[in-house]
Amino acid sequence: MIEIIPAIDIIEGKCVRLTKGDYDTKKVYNDDPLEVAKMMEANGMRRLHVVDLDGAKSQHIVNYNIIERIADHTSLVIDFGGGIKTDEDIDIAFGSGASLVTVGSVAVKEPELFGEWLEKYSPAKIILGADVKNGLISINGWKEEAGDQLMPFLERYVNKGVENVLCTDISKDGMLEGPATELYSKIMKQFPDIHLIASGGVSCIEDIEALDKAGIPAVVFGKALYEGKIKMEELKPYL
């Protein structure tokens, strides 16, 4: 059964969502991410995907205090991304209470450093962030096209021991028009042993059912939940 992972995106300490990664489309859903995390936990969620959008924009972790608060006041397994660019950043993330970290830009620009992190922290704690648009990897908060094609990029790192991949179809993100199920199925067909986390476009419970039927291991979603397109009771069978 597919793993359900709600997302909290953070700007200036608040829970927000963007559309296609555009900061000008920011919509604030709650001033306190901890309040949202507690609500998720109370409804049976066990894991949380936290993204530091300020960190992604400024190229270093900014909102690590939010991880600390969530880790201190819930038992949720936190996977954290956004602005992890240096040894100091990744140490801050784990030191603040993240159980896993999502890393994308470093994997593209500094593959040796990414390899060191895989070895130091283990593949079980590192998620390869593969944000994709028109088949190409995007980095630095989706502001920069890396030029790497998705499948060769994934193959390179799966061969180096990567077990966890978070793939976001940028064109779908925040659009509430359905996920790129065909793309994720293609990834799973080529790399059947990875723990793939699908991200972007989830609009209703039927989207999650379709991903589950396609054999996708996990899904991250947020906007559909915050907008009431998916009700908590609809998620109960997956928790």
Please give the structure tokens belonging to residue 65. 């205090």
End-to-end CA distance of the chain: 9
Please give the structure tokens belonging to residue 208. 């999650």
**Rounded to an integer, what distance in angstroms lies between the CA atom of residue 36 and that of residue 71?**
13
**Rounded to an integer, what distance in angstroms lies between the CA atom of residue 131 and that of residue 144?**
11
Asked if 167 contacts 199 with a C-beta cutoff of 8 angstroms, the reply is yes
Interhelix angle 181-190/205-213, nearest 10 degrees:
20
Half-sphere exposure of 14 (CA within 13 A, CB side): 10
**Rounded to an integer, what distance in angstroms lies between the CA atom of residue 218 and that of residue 171?**
19
Q: According to DSSP H, which parts of 96-139 are helical? A: 105-109, 111-121
Amino acid at 199: S
Catalytic residues: 9, 131
Which residues have a Cβ under 8 Å from the Cβ of 51 and sit 6 or more positions away?
Answer: 7, 8, 9, 10, 80, 81, 82, 102
